[in-house]
Amino acid sequence: MTAPGGVRVERDAGVAVITIDRPEARNAIGFATADELGAALDDVLASDAAALVLRGGGDRAFVSGGDLKELGALRTHEEAVDMARRVRRLLDRVATSPIPVIAALNGHALGGGAEVAIAADVRVAADDVKIGFNQVALGIMPAWGGAERLVGVVGHSRALLAIATGELYDAATARELGLVDVVAPRAAFEDTWRGLARRMAGTAPGTTRAVKAVIDAALPSSHPHLEPPATDAFARLWVADAHWAAVEALEQKRRTG
């Protein structure tokens, strides 16, 4: 059963699947969704699951970012910092999960959606999706730890180019950059990510947790010491006139488009 925030959890043979299913909002993350994701993580990590998959409902969007209808009410620096900190810490939990996390990109992963994807250990994409850290189009920057994690995945210069230009990458290009690990034809996508998750979960008990612990120690995917300056930088952009002008232009385009 899907909760009000659109999150549901399934478990099968050691594989846990968390789905964000909000078709009316292209699986955007609002406050209820964030709370439910946190509860879903609690549920999965308290179980004997050996692998976790994050996916979006449908085939149009993995996660389209933050829910602007909700987040648009945040107008002060303090509110913006609080929101950024809240979701950043949620995605830190994803990134530091004791079991491997696969992001199954069933649809486009844009803005905050790309930040959710980069918090996973492995990204599997259908061949017709795009991924991009395009927050710059709204006069802001990644708020949820995605910038730091992107550097760890693709390197300094490629991360800077991706974020500063807001480039949207098709699946094949994203794989070349290392932003996506596996690309599958749309018809084989479901079998591909499920098969990968089952292979991970099918190892000897405790194996995936041991492997994840060693790899995380070698290259941490969470940077809590960067939280204060990163959330402050985001909040200053959030409250700026340029951001709200870009939001209004986007809303106007949607109304007339």
At 117-139, the pLDDT tens digits run 999 999 999 999 999 999 999 99
- What DSSP designation does 155 have? -
- Average of per-residue pLDDT across 22-28: 94
Please give the pLDDT value at position 157: 98
16 — phi, psi (to 5°)?
-105, 135
Tell me: domain 7-186, CATH 3.90.226.10, correct?
yes
Is the confidence at residue 229, as pLDDT, over 70? Answer: yes
What is the residue whose two structure tokens read 């004791």?
98
Of 196, 20, 215, which Cα lies nearest the Cα of 98?
Answer: 215
Q: What is the pLDDT of residues 180-228, one digit of tens each?
A: 999 999 999 999 999 999 999 999 999 999 999 999 999 989 999 999 9
For residues 145 and 224, give the distance between their C-alpha atoms in angstroms, rounded to a whole number: 9
Asked if residues 122 and 212 have their Cβ atoms less than 8 Å apart, the reply is no
Q: Which two tokens stand for residue 176?
A: 């070349």
pLDDT band for 111, please (50, 70, 90 cuts).
Answer: very high
pLDDT top residue among 161 and 255: 161
Is the confidence at residue 99, as pLDDT, over 90? Answer: yes
Collect contacts of 159-165 with beta carbons under 8 A, ≥24 apart. Answer: 162/132, 162/133, 163/133, 163/135, 163/136, 164/136, 165/136
Look over the chain and give the mean of its residue pLDDT values, rounded to a whole number: 95
Q: What is the pLDDT of residues 143-186, one digit of tens each?
A: 999 999 999 999 999 999 999 999 999 999 999 999 999 999 99
Is the confidence at residue 93, as pLDDT, over 90? Answer: yes
Q: Is 51 helix (H, G, I), strand (E, B) or coil?
A: strand
Is the confidence at residue 1, as pLDDT, over 70? Answer: no
Sorted by where each begins, the domain ranges of the chain are 7-186
Is the confidence at residue 34, as pLDDT, over 70? Answer: yes
122 — phi, psi (to 5°)?
-135, 140
Q: Count of CB atoms within 10 A of residue 64's CB?
A: 23
What is the residue whose two structure tokens read 């699946």?
171
Is the confidence at residue 7, as pLDDT, over 70? Answer: yes
- What DSSP designation does 251 have? H
Please give the pLDDT value at position 2: 57
Of 111, 100, 129, which Cα lies nearest the Cα of 234?
Answer: 111
pLDDT top residue among 1 and 40: 40
Is the confidence at residue 22, as pLDDT, over 70? Answer: yes
Q: Which two tokens stand for residue 169?
A: 């990458």
In the structure, how many helices (H) and strands (E) does the chain have?
Answer: 11, 10
Please give the pLDDT value at position 9: 97
